Copies of this chain bind each other. A is one copy, B any other.
Amino acid sequence: MDNLKAIVESLLFVSDTSLTIDKIKTVLEIEDRKAIHNVLTTLAEEYESQKRGFFLAEVAGGYQLRTRPEYGQWIRRLKQTRPARLSRAALETLAVIAYKQPVLRSDIEHLRGVDCGGILRMLLERRLIRVLGRKDLPGRPIIYGTTKRFLELFDLKDLGDLPTPKDLQALGEAWPNDST
């Protein structure tokens, strides 16, 4: 396949989730992971050097074309939509789950000092968190964890991409905003 680069690009172009190398292998029926990896690297470099309007993002274990963040303002104007942004309370709850998973509702509420039932429900409905299992405790409480969608939403390669608590502390010289 001498036009492998263009074909991979067309796949990336139409895919609405991040594409793994394995997936590309299956679709194109080729065995050469290395070749696919090289093509992806070349594409990413081209988008950079040519200052295209989009870039190749590595998210949730795969690759995805995304528009450059600096043009977000124009795209929001084009779409004229207000995406459902998460509230601060929801973000905090997500942060607890991301860092402490596998985690129980009671642990989350202990940390946040408030009831989180409604937020957990909403996060489940939006598939940003999921049920990892149940704990062997009275009432068999649900254990929560984050999903692939969570990674996609926040542009994370994997959970290791989150700053460590130490990084956060360093970042914490300025007070966190308490804007709603």
Contact = CB atoms under 8 A, between A and B. Distances in A.
A86 to B, nearest CB: 6
Given A81-B26, A134-B160, A6 B52 contact: yes
Contacts of A53: 5-13
Contacts of A6: 51-53, 68, 71
A118 B120 CA distance: 32
A147 interface: yes
A78 to B, nearest CB: 5
Interface string A28-54: 100000000000000000100011111
A171 B121 contact: yes
B175 A119 contact: yes
A130 B54 CA distance: 36
Interface string A68-81: 10010011011101
Interface string A137-170: 0000010000100000011110011110001101
A95 interface: no
B13 A172 contact: no
Interface string A107-120: 00000000101111
A78 B18 CA distance: 12
26 contacts: A3-B51, A5-B51, A8-B53, A9-B52, A9-B54, A10-B74, A11-B74, A13-B54, A13-B67, A14-B75, A23-B78, A28-B74, A46-B50, A82-B180, A84-B179, A87-B178, A90-B178, A105-B171, A119-B178, A121-B168, A121-B171, A121-B172, A121-B174, A124-B171, A130-B155, A134-B160
